[in-house]
Amino acid sequence: MNDIIKYFFEAYFHQDWRYEYSSSRELLEDFVSLESETTVHDLAGAFKTLMECPDVLQDIITECDGNFNPESEEMSAVEWVSMALTILQRNTRSDISG
């Protein structure tokens, strides 16, 4: 598993994340504002690579941390990663080519 994905889920989707954020979208916006552009770019690249294997997305999210399920926000894992990529990519200046 990719270290940046593991870091993201462990650091941000911790046990009490719902007390800090009203949604995963808000959490992602905070990630972008708190982390370096390189870290944001790396996570976006890792998510983009994951989109090439949509069958395993939910398994990877679950494996990283059991404290988030995209279905809790009425999204599939693919829809959630796509939403995350939109937020991450609009907040990086450099091209994310994977």
CB 87 within 8 A of CB 33: no
Using DSSP, state whether 74 is helix, strand or coil. coil
Residue-wise pLDDT tens digits, 67-91: 888 889 999 989 999 999 999 998 7
Burial class (CB in 10 A: 0-12, 13-18, 19+), 91: middle
pLDDT over 90 at 45, yes or no = yes
Separation of alpha carbons 38 and 20, rounded Å: 24
Separation of alpha carbons 32 and 64, rounded Å: 19
pLDDT at 97: 47
Confidence of residue 1 (pLDDT cuts 50, 70, 90): low
Separation of alpha carbons 92 and 31, rounded Å: 12
